[in-house]
Amino acid sequence: MKKFTVLLLAGILLYSCKEAASVADTKKNALPLIGTWQLLEGRVIEKGDTLLTDYTKNVSFIKIINQTHFAFLQHDLSRGKDSAAVFVAGGGTYTLKDSLYTENLEYCSAREWEGNDFSFTVTVNGDTLIQQGIEKVEAAGIDRINREKYVRVKK
């Protein structure tokens, strides 16, 4: 019985080491998403219409991604003092498998968006991040394709 216990513990130890290496390999091979990203442009296709938005004029939008969570913030550059006043914020957890990036939106200033998952294909080329996928929020009547182009913020 003693030999069985020792062998069982040794097997568990070896399996644990294998899992740790696997997690390290996954992080090493993952897309370099971690950081702060400035949204440059967004393209929304909904019901056959395409809307292109330039996020470098009149508004600022950033997305912050760490190992487990993301957050986004948008505000107008006129400090809320004209008819274009806007402030949007949200965040939650995400998963990344190869190039499939899925956000679980836990917090959002547009409350009907909370609790939804959004899956995107992401590509990173140098300091440019392209994110494209379907946004569907039944409570808000949203069903559209969203493509966003970001640049990495450097300090």
Q: In three state form, how does the secondary structure of 2-19 look?
A: HHHHHHHHHHHHHHHHHH
Question: Residue 55 is which amino acid?
Answer: Y
Query: CA angle at residue 18 from 17 to 20, to 5 degrees?
Result: 65
Average pLDDT over residues 28-52: 90
pLDDT value for 50: 97
Average pLDDT over residues 10-20: 49
The rounded distance, in Å, linking the Cα atoms of 112 and 138 is: 9
Q: Is the pLDDT of residue 17 over 80?
A: no
Average pLDDT over residues 32-54: 96
Distances (CA, A) of 51 to 5, 120, 127: 65, 18, 25
Average pLDDT over residues 112-136: 96
pLDDT value for 84: 80
Q: Is the pLDDT of residue 107 over 90?
A: yes
